[in-house]
Structure 1
């Protein structure tokens, strides 16, 4: 193609493209720098692609604009493109590389873009690790303690939220099934607020207790807790005791072990 090219003798990369940007002709320098390409946009960097398509559609006798092109070795090149429309169907493009300093900057930007992609992946992994740790913290905020064969103790810490209830529910239900415990004691002494979603999921948990034949006792209940828990008291029988010590020392709730 280059032996009969109109660009023979031109010491610059040059292309002739049609309206679909298919390469009709190119100089030897273009082939040496970019290799054989069927379409001019094949050598345009992804970040410059929309710009190139837009500018090369403009009906104009002469244009000059900057693009980032990719050489056949994969190098990112910052260039000036001089475009001249020869007729309604053909466009000549002459490529002039920027000086070495600008080319160096373009290379640095390419490396920075790669590092940002790596950083995005690292941030994603860090987010996954953070979520795992958060889930463990939520689980630790409601440890499951077996007092004896029939009773399990769940001391609650912090606010009672949907996330917290969902974190300890599977573990608690498995322990009830494994131990055949007939009573779960929730100690609210160190608990903060109860939000609506947390209350709703607690209600569902207590309904699961009912199906398993397990009763519930609430201790350390503050006035603000009682107002919230009253919403589910009519749906699910619950026993309220002033303190955990009262439960453990009273004969009213004896261990059956």
Structure 2
């Protein structure tokens, strides 16, 4: 009897073709039985996952199917021993809760930066730029999806000071879905909406699908007047956008 079944975490022994040879007892408890490891991987991510797993040693995050959930985020650690792969799966914390916490952390940083502006007026220009950068962070949800929560007032300056940084990141990381969240946005300037429209067009040209969430009726009035790319999908909440991406 193999001792691999007693490994206290989900462990897969696989072939070069990702066929499953042995698993730990934890795998039987968490994952449905499969003959090939890729059967557990989200269909939209299989080709990219297959490429990643072919490397000599890999550590990455992927969406996999479990007994309790159709999609769950796991960290994958894989080491090849000749033609045999030793793969372990480590469940990550609730990603949505982490996103909300990170957004809250950004709000606190903004508040702290605003206070520093009052104390250090001689650093006004540098601090204002820092506020703008914090108002448009890029947060990874999965390997293919990022969240860009916007904060404060939607101005041309806010978008243009972050546009190149965001688009370069999307291009370099081969991101496929970008969620732009308006939950912490107050007023909209028409010039800001126009700049946002241009950035969404940039993302489309880079092959990324854009989602906009957290729109209020006041936001909707201004956005409808100016218009956003027809390639953009609008969802009421961040949670709905994440679910839409994962289940479609």
TM-score with structure 1 length normalisation? 0.47
TM-score with structure 2 length normalisation? 0.48
